[in-house]
Structure 1
């Protein structure tokens, strides 16, 4: 039996993290849900996750762009420097209000598995989980 997957919610806005938590529960997602308030906390978790075993359980990162300490783009750039084993199988989905300029938008799109614009809705979240962690949904 495969290990329970994890979804890492990375957003400095606590109400946004709570809404995502409620929606994931409503969808019946079978995953550990962890939270980080900034990219630095998230990066530390991803690094620890990669070193947790020879085959760490699946991890999906839902990442805000605008955060203090380390923003989403900095997280993506640092994540891209991790060993391949730490990047493979860890899709990073950016949940953004929109990048500030075209160059930043292009950089984010190049580094992330996908970009979804806020506000995200329940159907969009369900589609993301279905695409990246289908085995975490009921009936799978």
Structure 2
């Protein structure tokens, strides 16, 4: 049984997105996985997913920090402008290769960010998220 309906991956690394998608699917973590190599493209997708029922908006987002163009920090600023009725049911996690303690602390200082994880995504990270942050959908 899948835990979530929709997960969004935002990372400029195509290989990382492929690996993350594979892990999410192999672990039956979500029904649908959407990958974006640019934060702007992901933001457009999220804007088109906003509706009062919240059915189309993702349940969870994995966001990288360092990306060309709009980085993770800029994405969060724009994400805050989306309607709260959509974002309140979405869990946002940073998934980055950044290991600078300042980046980790800065990520955790954003109320939208549930947790910071270092790449690569693993089944153990998904299990941690299930146990700590999610209510299982039966």
Q: What TM-score does the superposition give when structure 1 sets the normalisation length?
A: 0.79
User: In 2 relative to 1, CA 128–85 (structure 1 residues): closer, same or farther, beyond 3 Å?
Assistant: same
Range 37-46 or range 56-65, more displaced: 56-65
Range 10-19 or range 57-66, more displaced: 57-66
Query: Could you tell me how far apart the structure 1 residues matched to 2:109 and 2:62 are?
Result: 16
Where do 1:1-140 residues align within 5 Å? 5-51=5-51, 53-57=52-56, 58-98=58-98, 102=102, 104-111=103-110, 112-135=113-136, 140=138
Aligned residues: 132
User: In 2 relative to 1, CA 41–133 (structure 1 residues): closer, same or farther, beyond 3 Å?
Assistant: farther
State the Cα distance separating 1:50 from its structure 2 match: 1.6
Question: Unaligned regions of 5+ residues in structure 2, if any?
Answer: none
Secondary structure of 2:109's counterpart equals helix
Question: Unaligned regions of 5+ residues in structure 1, if any?
Answer: none
Q: Which has the higher helix share?
A: 1
Give the RMSD, CA atoms, in angstroms. 2.3
Q: What TM-score does the superposition give when structure 2 sets the normalisation length?
A: 0.80
